[in-house]
Every structure is written in structure tokens, then in C-alpha cells.
Amino acid sequence: MQLHHRHDWNLTPSEAIALQQQLRTEVLSDRPIDLDAVRLVAGVDVSVKNEQSQAAIVVVTYPGFLLVETVLAQRPTPFPYVPGLLSFREGPVLEEAFEKLKSEPDVFLFDGMGIAHPRRIGIASHMGLWLQRPTIGCGKTLLCGRYKDLGEEKGSAAPLVDRKETIGVALRTRTAKNPMFISPGHLADIPTAAELVLRCSPKYRLPEPIRLAHNAAGQFSPLPA
């Protein structure tokens, strides 16, 4: 699929933070997703093994979750692990994977954050600017913000608040399991992002498109000699 190339990836951590501050003004996190129009959903994940990064994008039908397409890309991991700068570690290999994609997903679910990020531009928001499609951040662990009074039942949600700003929700996608931390990436809003993630989680804690992408990304094949 066609990407909107925004910048090169060869940056220092301080340059990366400055770029985030610049790009964050372009992120649109108040646009409801037209859930009735969604037909294809993509899950996006990256695994790292021995300093090699492998990206997986798995496209499924919605609401049936039938497999449509899986694309993989693998390359050396270019950037150190720095909390809040995941985009710069995973972005280059994701760019390569997105360029292989033949489908045109309506929404992308990322294993990572959207605006629930200290600078309000996690990987789902950042790559959303490259995709110019609705993106949603689905974090497994809390990066920033606080929540309270979250019920144990599946579907329970509590606002995720950071510095008096609501940046997403803690969402229970499976009864009595740890919540997911859901936030809009780009061209999405909090209510429709949370609703779509819940609809995409019929059985497991992870939304089905991300679960499939996670499994695919973790299956490393040897690089050609």
C-alpha cells in the first residue's frame, strides 16, 4: 500500500524526541471511526530476536476474522530500546512491511500506544501519519496515566488520565484478566477505538488481529545468505 513518507529514521534519541514534538500537532484523535463501514482490520506487531526485528501485519475480515493477508519484513534493529521512542526502533521495519501490503485495511490495530504516551504520539499515532488511515494503540502495559474503579467483567472500562487529560481507556477484554490500554492513534477517537477493540476480542485478552500478528512476528526464519 502507498505510504506518506514523513521523515528518515536515522536520528539520535534527542532528535527523535524533537521530531515527536513536531509531529504530535498533526495527530487527529477526536475523529470517530465509522464502525459500520469497517470490513478489513489489520493487526500490527514487531518482534526482536538477536538484534533482528521482524514486523508482521495480518489483515482479517471484520467481523468474521478470516485471514486475508499476512506480510512480514525483517531487518537489523536500528535503535536502542528507549521508553517512549518505540516508533524509531520499529518504524523502519514497519515501513518495509507496509509497502508490501496489497490489501487496504480500514483500521490498523497496533501492539503499542496511540496518544496514551508522554508526548501523545506513540507508535500507532506516529505510523498513522504515514498510513493516513484510522489507527488504534493497544498497549499491554501502562506507559503513562492512571485509572481507577475498573470492574472485573469483560467490557469494563475506566478513563485513562494523564495530567488532567483523558488519553484513552483501561479496557477489560477478558473477565478477571489484566486490562488492555486503548487509545486512538490517528483518525480515531477514544469511544470508537475502545468499541472496535472490544469487538475484535471475542476470546482472548489480545484483540484477534494483534494476536495473529504477534504469532506471525515471533516466527523468525533464517535470513538468506
152 three-state secondary structure: coil
CB-CB contact of 68 with 103 (8 Å): yes
Q: Return the CATH number of 35-218, one of 2.130.10.10, 3.30.2170.10, 3.40.1000.10, 3.40.50.720.
A: 3.30.2170.10
Across 43-65, average pLDDT: 96
For the chain, what are the domain ranges?
35-218
pTM confidence score:
0.96
Percentage of residues in the chain with pLDDT exceeding 70?
98
Q: What is the mean pLDDT of the chain?
A: 96
Backbone angles phi, psi at 135, to 5 degrees: -130, 150
Bind-site residues for Mg(2+): 45, 111
Residue 147 predicted with pLDDT over 90: yes
What is the model's pLDDT at position 174? 97
Report how far residue 214's alpha carbon sits from residue 209's, in angstroms, rounded to the nearest whole number.
9
Bind-site residues: 45, 111
Residue 219's pLDDT band (cuts 50, 70, 90): very high
Residue 223's pLDDT band (cuts 50, 70, 90): low
